[in-house]
Amino acid sequence: EIKPYSVERINFDIMKGDSTLELSRNDKLNSDNKLFIINPYDAKSNILFITNDQRNNLLLDALQSNSQFEVKVTVPPVIPDLEYDLIVVSKIDMNMLLPNTFKDIKKYKENGGKVIIASQDNINSLDFQGLVGFGIGSLTNKGGEICIDFVNEFTSRISNPRCFTSISKYHNINIADNSSLVFASTEEGIPALIMEENLFYYGIIDDSSGFKDQINYPLFWDDLINYMLGRENLANFNFKT
pLDDT in tens, 129-146: 999 999 999 999 999 999
Phi, psi dihedrals of residue 226, rounded to the nearest 5°? -60, -40
Whether residue 96 is predicted with pLDDT greater than 60 in this model: the reply is yes
Spatial distance between the Cα atoms of 154 and 223, rounded to a whole number of angstroms: 5
Contact, 180 vs 133, CB < 8 A? yes
Q: What is the largest CA-CA distance in the chain?
A: 65
- If DSSP codes are grouped into helix, strand and coil, which group holds residue 18? strand
> Which residues does residue 136 pair with via DSSP β-bridges, in sequence order?
173
What pLDDT was estimated at residue 179? 83
Contact, 229 vs 45, CB < 8 A? yes
Contact, 76 vs 96, CB < 8 A? yes
Residue 105: its H or E element: helix 101-110
pLDDT in tens, 195-239: 999 999 999 999 999 999 999 999 999 999 999 999 875 555 555
- What pTM value is reported for the model? 0.82
